[in-house]
Structure 1
Amino acid sequence: MRLTIHLDTFNCEHPMAFAILWLDKDSRQWSREGHLGLDLPEWGLLHLDCGNTLVCGSNDTTPLCVLEGLDLNGCDGPFEGETGSAQWCAKGARTLMTGHWHVQCIDHEHTAPEHGLFAGGDDA
């Protein structure tokens, strides 16, 4: 299962700051599909902690962002339209910034990506 998550409404220097992330529930990886005003790497790993999803870098378990209440192990979700609080804690943030996450789309297909970060092999 893959989810498209929209992060926004962070109180930061750029009033229109947002990020769109593609989360792969099975591989526990994410990729950045779009962003403005939020400094994120191109991809990373997902970790789960007490019903929250931690968006981490590719080589680090320190969260860049915590998606509170987004339980990727839950039987009842996530579902399209689900929302919750997000805590931005990336390196550049001196203090935690609170924003929101929103599930825009859920893809239940198990199609392997042809190209890109999660394709594996030599093309990735």
Structure 2
Amino acid sequence: MRLTVHLDTFNCVHPMAFAILWLDEDTRRWSREGHLGLELPEWGSLHVDCGNTLVCGPNDATPLCVLEGLELNGCDGPFEGETGRAQWCAKRGRALMTGHWHVQCIDHEQAPPEHGLFAGGDET
């Protein structure tokens, strides 16, 4: 299953800050599909801890953002329209900034991507 998640309302960072992430539950990776005012690498790994999803960089398990309550391991799974609080922690040494996450779309198809990050493990 692949999820499209919209992160927003990080007004402390930028008045219109947002990021759209594509989460792949099977590979536990994410890719950045769009953003403004939130600096994120192009892709990274996903980790689950105590019912939260940790959005981490490609080479580090330190979270850039914590999607509170987004349970990727749950039997019911996320649903379209589900929302929750996001803690932005990408800026080392600064206080956490609170925003929101919103599941925009869920793709249940198992068709492999044509190209890009999730096609054949190509990480470029």
Percent of residue pairs bearing the same amino acid type: 84
Q: CA deviation at 1:13?
A: 3.7
Q: CA deviation at 1:86?
A: 0.1
Unaligned runs of 5+ in 2: none
With over 3 angstroms needed to count, the CA separation of the structure-2 counterparts of 1:113 and 1:16, relative to structure 1, is same
Where in structure 1 do 4 or more consecutive aligned residues deviate above 6 Å?
A: none
Secondary structure of 1:101's counterpart equals: strand
Does residue 1:16 correspond to 2:16, yes or no?
yes
Letter in 2 for 1:73: N
- Calculate the TM-score normalised by the size of structure 1: 0.95
Q: Deviations over 1:6-61 (max 9, x none)?
A: 00001324100000000000000000000000000000000000000000000000
| Alpha-carbon distance in 2 for matches of 1:78, 1:47 | 15
Letter in 2 for 1:103: V
Match of 1:72 in 2: 72
Letter in 2 for 1:51: G
- Calculate the TM-score normalised by the size of structure 2: 0.95
Unaligned runs of 5+ in 1: none
RMSD over equivalenced CA pairs, Å: 1.6
Q: CA deviation at 1:76?
A: 1.5
Aligned length: 124
Match of 1:56 in 2: 56
| Alpha-carbon distance in 2 for matches of 1:36, 1:108 | 28
